[in-house]
Structure 1
Amino acid sequence: MSSPSHVAETPITDRNELVATLASGEKPKAQWRIGTEHEKFGFRLDDLRPPTFDGDRGIEALLKGLTRFGWDPVQEGGRTIALLRDNASVTLEPAGQLELSGAAVETIHDTCVETGTHLNEVAQVAGELQLGFLGMGFQPKWTRDEMPWMPKGRYKIMREYMPKVGTLGLDMMTRTCTVQVNLDYATEADMVKKFRVSLALQPIATALFADSPFTEGKPNGYQSYRSHIWTDTDNDRTGMLDFVFEDGFGYERYVDYLLDVPMYFSYRDGKYNDASGQSFRDFMVGKLPVLPGQLPTLRDWSDHMTTAFPEVRLKKYLEMRGADAGPWSRLCALPAFWVGLLYDDAALDAAWDLVRDFSLVERNVLRDGVPKHGLKLPFRNGTVLDLAREALKIAVAGLKRRAARNADGQDESKFLEVLQEIVDSGLTPADRKLALFHGEWGGNIDPVFKAFAY
C-alpha cells in the first residue's frame, strides 16, 4: 500500500483533469520501463513471531539500520515509517510487512539486481536484530489478533472501515504479501489492449505463483488464500472490472469507476482526515463532509487512485496485482512473465488471441476458482495448466524477441525458467509446501520459516 503521494497541491476543478492524469502516463515504446514491487513477512528468529514496530528488534530499528546503505528516512508523527533512495522506496504494510517499491528500470536484469541488492541489505540488518524474512502469499502461522499494527494514519482509518464492507479485509491488511509489476503504455488504445489481456490472464499468474496454502499452522484448502481474501475484502474496490471489456472503454470510463470507489481519507497538513465511505464526486464540488467547502487536489486524486484494489489497476501505468509473494527467483519471474506478454507486439497479439473470446462468465470463473484449485481448475476442454503453458510460451518468445541481454549475453527469458519448471511438473509452490508439511515437516509449519527465508 502506498504512502502519501508527492503530487503537487494543485486544485482540481474539472473531471477532464482526472482523465488527463491517466493520459499523461503515455510514453513511446523506447521509454517503457519496469517497476517491480514485493512484500515479505518479518519474523523473530527465536520465536517466529512478527516483530512489532517499536523496540530494539522492531521494524523501526530495521528501517533505521537500512539507512547505512544510503536510504533517506521518511517520518510520520516523528517516527520512521519509510525509506527513499534513487527513485525507489521501502515502505510498511499494516502489520509490518516490508515492501520494496523498485525504481522504473529498463530490463528484468536491472530489476532482478535491484531486488537482490535490497534483500541482501535487509538480510544484513535483520541478522543483527535476530530477524528473518519470508516470502509467501499469506502468513502461515499467526492469527490476525497476533499480528502487530504499524503507526500509519491511513491504516488506522482502513482498520476501522474494513469490517463494515467485508469479512476478510483485516486479513488482507495484516496477513498477505504480494509481488507486482508496473508497466507502461503508449496510447489509450494500447492501454486498453494491455488492460484486457492482463485482466483475463491475471488468474493464470495467480495459479503459477500460488503460495499461500496455510492458515494458522494448518492447510487451509487453498492454493492462493491471499487471492481468495480479495473476494471478501470490499467489493466496491476489488474484482475483475468487467466494464474494461465493454465497447468504448478508455480513460474516461476508468475515471468514472474511480469516482464511484468510496474514499478512505484526504491527507492534509501532515494529517489523515477520515473520509471513509464518502464520495470523491462530492469532494469535487466542495461537499465532502470531513472537509466542507474544500476542493480536492491532484495529490488527493493520486492518493485516491491507490485505494482501489482490482486485479489490474490503472494509474499512470498498469499494475499487475494477482501474484503471491515468493522467493527471489519468482520475484524476478513475475515482471518477466508480464513484460514478455505485454511489451512485444507479436506477443501481445498472441496473448489477445488466447483470451479474446473468453466470456464474462468464464473470466470470473477463472478468478473465483483459481484461488482454491490453482493450475488444476478445469477450463473448457482442459485446465488452467493448459492456459498457463500457452501463456508462458508466448511470454518466452516475447522476451527472446526483446533481446535485452546481460553482460553474459543472456536474454530475459532465463527468468521464466522457474515458471517453466512449475508448468512442466504441474506443481505449484503451494503444492510443494503442502508435500513438505505432510512429509518431512511432520505436520509442523515452523520449518517453513527456515527452509524458505530469504
Structure 2
Amino acid sequence: MTTRTDLSASPPIDSREDLLAVFSGGEKPRESWRIGTEHEKFVYRTADHRAPSWDEPGGIRDLLTGLTEYGWQPVEEQGKIIALSGKDGTISLEPAGQLELSGAPLATLHETCAEAGRHLEQVKAVGDRLGLGFLGLGMWPDKTRAELPIMPKGRYAIMLNHMPRVGSLGLDMMLRTCTIQVNLDYASEADMVKKFRVGLALQPVATALFANSPLTEGRPNGYKSFRSHIWEDTDPHRTGMLPFVFDEGFGYERYCDYALDVPMYFVFRDGKYIDCAGESFRAFLDGKLPQLPGERPTVSDFTDHLSTAFPEVRLKSFLEMRGADGGRWGRICALPALWVGLLYDHGALDAAWDLCRHWSIEEREQLRHDVPRMALDAPVPGGGTVRDLAAKVVDIAASGLTARAALNGAGDNEGGFLDPLRDVVATGITPADRLLNWFKGEWNGDVSHVYEELSF
C-alpha cells in the first residue's frame, strides 16, 4: 500500500478543477510513457518459518536498516523506520511486514526487470545475515491472522480497526496477501479510458495466469487465487469491476465522482494519521469533516484518498493493474510485460479491446467471480475458457512488445519476459495448480516444503 514519502507542503483544493488536474496532470506523450512495477514478498525466519515482528532483533526494522547500506534513505513515522527511498523507487511495508518494492518509472521492461533483480539481491544479502527468507506467493499458505505481527504505521491501525465493519475478509487482505502490480501512463483522457476499459475487462485473465494462492492455514482453500477472492468480501464501497467505466462518456469527471463517494480512512497531519474512517471526502471539501472542522483538504489529501480505493484497476495520475497474485522473479517481470504489450501499442490495444468490447456488465462480473476459483478453466463470454482467451491475450501482448522494438544490449526485444505466461497457456498449469500438485503429491500434505520450493 502507498507510503507517504513526500512531506512537503501541498496546495489547497480551491475548485473541482484542482481534483481533475490530478488525473489530467498524468497525461504524457508516448515517448515519455514509463513502467512502474510493484511487487511484494513474505518475510520469514529461516530457523522456524515464523513471520518476524518490526522491533525484534533481526526483524523488519533491522532488515530496513540493513538495506540502507545500498544507498537507500530511511523514511520514518513517529521516529520509526517504516520505508526506504532511493533511485530504484520506494521499499515499504504491508501491514504484517510483507516487503514491497514500488519501482521507479522506467522506459523498458529490460530496465524494470534489472531493477527487480537488484532489489532481490539486496534483500537476500541482508536477509542471509539476519536469518530471514523471502517467499513468493499470493497468500501466506500456513499462517493464521493471530500469528502475524502488525507494523507500526498509523494508516494500518485505522484500516485494521475499520475493515471488520465492512467485510469479512479485509483483515486477510491486509495481513495475509501479496501481489504484483504495474503502473502505466496514458497520453490523453481518451487514451486513459480505452486502457482502463481493456485493463478492467481482461484483469481476470491476469488473475488466472498468476493464480498462486490455493492454500490457507496449511490446507487447500478451494480457490486457485484466494487472494483475488478476498477482494470480493473486503469492502464493496472501494473494490470491484467499476461498471461505470464502460458507460458512454466515462472520463476523469466520472472517476472523480466515484473517488469522492469512497468513504475516507484518514487525514495525514503533522506526521500523524487522523482516523476519519467512514467520513465523506465531499464533506471535507466543504469544511465539514468532524475531525478537522472548518479545514479544507489539500491536493495531497486527495491523492492520499485515491490510494484508499482498491478496484481491479485504479486511476491516480497513472493506471494501476491490480489483479495478479505475488510470485517469484520471472513472474515479477511477466506481469508488466503482459500489460505493456497490451496497452502501450495502438494495434495491440485495439486487438485487445476487440476481444472484450461486446461483453455485458453481467458477463464481466461473472468472469471476475469465476476466475478466483477456476482460473484457466473459467468460461468466458461467447464460449471457450479463460485458457483459450489467455492464449489470444498473450499473443497480442507479444505483438505489442515486438512493435515497441525496445532492445537490450544483446538485441533481444521484450517478448521473452512473457515466457512464464506462455508456459501456463501451453500446459494449462498455473502456479496454483503446481503448488496443489506438490502438496497432494510429494509433499504428502506438509505445507512446510513451500519454503524450500518457492523462496526467492
Give your verdict on TM over 0.5.
yes
TM superposition shift of 1:87:
5.7
Q: Report the 3-state secondary structure (helix = DSSP H, G, I; strand = E; otherwise coil) of the residue aligned with 1:378.
A: coil
1:27·1:184 contact (CA, 8 Å) conserved in 2? yes
TM superposition shift of 1:46:
1.1
1:348 matched residue in structure 2: 349
1:408 matched residue in structure 2: 410
One-letter code aligned to 1:359:
S
2:3 matched residue in structure 1: 3
2:207·2:371 contact (CA, 8 Å) conserved in 1? yes
Q: C-alpha distance in 1, partners of 2:384/2:211? A: 19
TM superposition shift of 1:447:
0.6
Q: Report the 3-state secondary structure (helix = DSSP H, G, I; strand = E; otherwise coil) of the residue aligned with 2:227.
A: helix
1:27·1:186 contact (CA, 8 Å) conserved in 2? yes
Q: Report the 3-state secondary structure (helix = DSSP H, G, I; strand = E; otherwise coil) of the residue aligned with 1:289.
A: coil
The alignment status of 1:125 with 2:120, answered yes or no, reads: no
2:5·2:75 contact (CA, 8 Å) conserved in 1? no
TM superposition shift of 1:330:
0.4
TM superposition shift of 1:16:
1.7
2:388 to 386, 389, 394: 386
Equivalences for 1:86-235 in 2 at 5 Å?
86=87, 88-235=89-236
One-letter code aligned to 1:398:
G
1:236 matched residue in structure 2: 237
Deviations 1:54-105 (CA, angstroms, capped at 9, x unpaired): 1212100000000000000011111111000016000000000000000000
Q: Which runs of 4+ in 1 moved over 3 A?
A: none
One-letter code aligned to 1:445:
V
Q: Report the 3-state secondary structure (helix = DSSP H, G, I; strand = E; otherwise coil) of the residue aligned with 1:82.
A: strand
More off after superposition, 75-84 vs 377-386? 377-386
1:424 matched residue in structure 2: 426
TM superposition shift of 1:4:
2.2
Q: Which runs of 5+ in 2 are unaligned?
A: none
2:308 matched residue in structure 1: 307
1:50 matched residue in structure 2: 51
Q: C-alpha distance in 1, partners of 2:378/2:165? A: 32
Q: Using a 3 Å threshold, how does the CA distance of structure 1 residues 87 and 9 change in structure 2: closer, same or farther?
A: farther
Q: C-alpha distance in 2, partners of 1:283/1:5? A: 23
- How many residues align? The count is 454
1:439 matched residue in structure 2: 441
One-letter code aligned to 1:439:
G
One-letter code aligned to 1:420:
R
Deviations 1:95-152 (CA, angstroms, capped at 9, x unpaired): 0000000000000000000001000000000011111000110100010111110000
Q: Report the 3-state secondary structure (helix = DSSP H, G, I; strand = E; otherwise coil) of the residue aligned with 1:446.
A: helix
Deviations 1:152-178 (CA, angstroms, capped at 9, x unpaired): 000000010000000000000000000
Q: C-alpha distance in 2, partners of 1:339/1:12? A: 33
2:88·2:115 contact (CA, 8 Å) conserved in 1? no
Q: C-alpha distance in 1, partners of 2:288/2:241? A: 31
TM superposition shift of 1:5:
5.9
Deviations 1:349-368 (CA, angstroms, capped at 9, x unpaired): 10011110011111001111
Q: Report the 3-state secondary structure (helix = DSSP H, G, I; strand = E; otherwise coil) of the residue aligned with 2:448.
A: coil
1:4·1:267 contact (CA, 8 Å) conserved in 2? no
TM superposition shift of 1:211:
0.2
1:231·1:239 contact (CA, 8 Å) conserved in 2? yes
Deviations 1:169-219 (CA, angstroms, capped at 9, x unpaired): 000000000000000000000000000000000000000000000000001
Q: C-alpha distance in 2, partners of 1:87/1:198? A: 26
1:266·1:272 contact (CA, 8 Å) conserved in 2? yes
TM superposition shift of 1:378:
1.7
The alignment status of 1:396 with 2:365, answered yes or no, reads: no
Q: Report the 3-state secondary structure (helix = DSSP H, G, I; strand = E; otherwise coil) of the residue aligned with 1:440.
A: coil
Q: C-alpha distance in 1, partners of 2:110/2:52? A: 32
Q: TM-score, normalised by structure 2?
A: 0.99
Q: C-alpha distance in 1, partners of 2:114/2:379? A: 37
Q: Which runs of 5+ in 1 are unaligned?
A: none
1:126·1:132 contact (CA, 8 Å) conserved in 2? yes
2:78·2:272 contact (CA, 8 Å) conserved in 1? no
1:65 matched residue in structure 2: 66
Q: Report the 3-state secondary structure (helix = DSSP H, G, I; strand = E; otherwise coil) of the residue aligned with 2:434.
A: helix
Q: Using a 3 Å threshold, how does the CA distance of structure 1 residues 146 and 450 change in structure 2: closer, same or farther?
A: same
The alignment status of 1:19 with 2:20, answered yes or no, reads: yes
1:449 to 440, 451, 454: 451
Q: TM-score, normalised by structure 1?
A: 0.99
Identical aligned residues as a percent:
60
Q: Report the 3-state secondary structure (helix = DSSP H, G, I; strand = E; otherwise coil) of the residue aligned with 1:447.
A: helix
One-letter code aligned to 1:341:
L
The alignment status of 1:84 with 2:85, answered yes or no, reads: yes
Q: Report the 3-state secondary structure (helix = DSSP H, G, I; strand = E; otherwise coil) of the residue aligned with 1:405.
A: coil
TM superposition shift of 1:8:
4.0
